[in-house]
Amino acid sequence: MKKIEIEVPYNVRYISEWEDFNTNLLSGHSIINKTITGCGFTHYCLTNNIPTILCSPRKFLLENKNEQLPHTYLVINSNEKGLSIDGDDLSTKVSNSVVKNIKEQVKELKKEAEGLNEKAENFSNIKLIQDNLRSYIFKCQVSNIAPKILVTYDSLGYILSVLGETIRYYSIIVDEFQNIFMDASFKPNVELNFVNTLQDCPNVTYLSATPYIEEYLNELDEFKDLPYYEFKWHPDRLQKIKTDFRKSNQINK
């Protein structure tokens, strides 16, 4: 991994104030370590003239951005599932094996029916998302403004199926990308599909103020050869936390 340090001008507090910010950083695939939070990098990406897709691991982060910037289009997939653990219903267990077998068959039939209903509902929801997105993009074209799309990692595929070849005009910002690895412990297939999907997109920026450990990134084919840009802020612009360590024999003290 090639690390490239970028000096941030002293007078810049937010990225939007950086008049000669190099937008080429958003072309191709790269990692950007902004090193500090609250510098307005995602805000800049959602207010510049580049068509942008902001991918976030958490819905509430996107909802917050959408409230601040109403011109953005927020993709809401009501069928997205969070972390859940299914448990067995012990009350269905009976000693009579015949009755138990019948109950299990009925249970399987119910699950199959529920699965079909869920698929139908999900298909209808996805179609609505895509139709609304097409309408939003058309309005942006008519108004001559850059589309700004907000989506979770889970739902990016639905967006790409609408954009098709025009994805080459878009910059994809993967915000808080370290969560790809953190969330993989409970939804590995989703995270793996997300990373694989990004490989076919021409412009992807993996963004974080606390990126994953470089030694680990170097072990992954999807990241090891990417340019790694690290922002260097003037020391006067940073406020360091002073920690007072105290020893105690009892933690409640």
Per-residue pLDDT band for 107 (boundaries 50, 70, 90) equals low
- The helix (H) or strand (E) run that includes residue 195 is helix 188-198
| ∠ Cα 201 193 47 (to 5°) | 45
165-203 CB burial, b ≥16 within 10 A, e <16? eebeebbbbbbbbbbbeebeeebeebbeebbeebeebeb
The pLDDT of 92-107, averaged and rounded, is 53
For the chain, the average pLDDT equals 83
pLDDT tens-digit series, residues 192-240: 999 999 999 999 999 999 877 777 888 888 988 999 999 999 887 777 7
In angstroms, the CA 77 to CA 152 distance is 9
C-alpha distances out from residue 45 to 30, 42, 84, Å: 15, 5, 33
- Please, are residues 210 and 175 in contact by the beta-carbon 8 Å criterion? no
Which residue is associated with the tokens 């927020």? 74
Please check the confidence at residue 94 and state whether its pLDDT lies above 70: no
pLDDT tens-digit series, residues 16-58: 999 999 999 999 999 999 998 889 999 999 999 999 999 999 8
Give every strand in the sheet of 29-33, ordered side by side.
2-7, 227-232, 29-33, 204-208, 171-175, 52-56, 148-152, 73-74
Q: Roughly how many angstroms between the first and final C-alpha of the chain, as a whole number? A: 46
* Nearest CA among 196, 152, 157 for reference residue 175: 152
- Please, are residues 69 and 46 in contact by the beta-carbon 8 Å criterion? yes
- The helix (H) or strand (E) run that includes residue 131 is helix 97-143
Per-residue pLDDT band for 120 (boundaries 50, 70, 90) equals very low
pLDDT computed for residue 211 by the predictor: 76
Per-residue pLDDT band for 127 (boundaries 50, 70, 90) equals confident
- Please, are residues 229 and 4 in contact by the beta-carbon 8 Å criterion? yes
Name the amino acid, one letter, at 97: S
In angstroms, the CA 79 to CA 97 distance is 37
pLDDT computed for residue 247 by the predictor: 86
In angstroms, the CA 46 to CA 146 distance is 9
- Please, are residues 222 and 199 in contact by the beta-carbon 8 Å criterion? yes
Contacts of 193 (CB under 8 A, 6+ apart): 157
The pLDDT of 3-12, averaged and rounded, is 92
| ∠ Cα 98 99 105 (to 5°) | 90
C-alpha distances out from residue 73 to 16, 138, 176, 238, 247, Å: 21, 12, 20, 33, 51
